[in-house]
Amino acid sequence: MKVFYGARIFDGERLHDDCALVVEAESIQTLTHVADRPRGGEQLDLGGGILSPGFIDWQINGGGGVLFNAEPTVEGVAAIAVAHRRAGVTAFLPTVVTDAPRVLAEALKAAREALERVPGALGVHVEGPFIDPKRKGVHPPQFIRPMKEEDVNALIAGRAGVMVVTLAPASVRLGFVSRLARAGIVVSLGHSDASAEEAQAVFDAGASAATHLYNAMSQLSSRAPGVVGATLSNPRIICGLIADGEHAHAHAYRVALAAKGPRGVALVSDAMPPAAGGPDVFELQGRRMTRVGAKLVAEDGTLAGAAITMRDAVDYVVNVLKVPLADALMTATLTPARLLRVDDRIGQLKPGHRADLVHLSDNLEVAEVWTGGLRLTEAGAEV
């Protein structure tokens, strides 16, 4: 038994003072007043700060120098997990972007294997190739293509754990969206130049999310609300946000948070290899990408993912956007857990849930991480 006390405790929805968290093996047993805590087992006085559920990142392309597209193996997933766990991420989706069919097939296989072998690996996020060439970002246009019946069958057959598929109506029929959603796949609208009406049709067909709101999508204007407007106006849709101060203006982030609330925003890192300790330069499908200040750019200046971690995103939301701490933490824990339909086991500190924890200092630096009740140094992710 482990008993955590001495810090403010965030349970996924609210902050508690003078409480203790009791963990037995991999699971949370109870949250109780510190004076009523059991006295046996390992007593962990955290000495201040905040104890929170571990962060859940549903869009990680890479980190620590590793790119999932370049290393679509279980070893690649493990290396990404280790890099981001140091920044408080205890559950994540390795993300494969538009590439050759072989790469997608290898990524799906690696994600299936990682479910059993890599702590925190939840499944996979398939971001393309079924997107709109008009909003491709750095996705290679030669691999963008319409979704076919055999693609739908392959995605459904290849699903293990959580699968998110980012797609656009320019490349995907609404019937396919419905089939994927009925099969338990989380469908997210992204990389799309759709009208608000077309976006709403995708949501009505079963999509439940929007991938990195504002980026690579049709924007909001008074008579043409686009994907942004359709997302912000639909209370059922959870939107991803890359909260780095580069992918959107601070006021745009505030608009999203005001419209959706912390239950409608699920932060993502959209991390590339330079994040979590990687080098400043890397190759994406033969093209040179570089960290310039706080952003990553292709040689033509196109934004190329992010160099942040989820800890950085939470810090930005709290200290730049001035969002209340509990709301900011919810966007990195319970809300993504709800989006991925794993809130029955992670994302909040409730009896029976997995003891995935991050201890943050008062200035939101990561002090310690536990996965399934084990410290970072004990949990490992070597395969």
The single residue of 270, 327, 343, 356 carrying the catalytic annotation is 270
Cα(262)–Cα(335) distance, rounded to whole angstroms?
7
Give yes or no for a contact between 56 and 346, defined as CB atoms under 8 angstroms apart.
yes
Beta-strand pair 123-127/162-167: parallel
Cα–Cα distance measured from residue 28 to residue 372, given in angstroms and rounded to the nearest whole number: 9
AA letter at 183: A
Tokens of 119: 């702590």
Cα dist from 23 to 29, 122, 240, 314, whole Å: 5, 22, 31, 25
**Rounded Cα gap, residues 9 and 34, in angstroms:** 11
Nearest to 266, CA basis, from 183, 196, 332: 332
| Whether 356 is catalytic | no
Q: Which of 216, 218, 202, 249 is nearest to 59 (CA)?
A: 216
Q: Which amino acid is at 368?
A: E
d(CA 171, CA 132): 6
Residue 93 and residue 110 in contact, taking contact as beta carbons nearer than 8 Å: no
What positions carry a catalytic annotation? 270
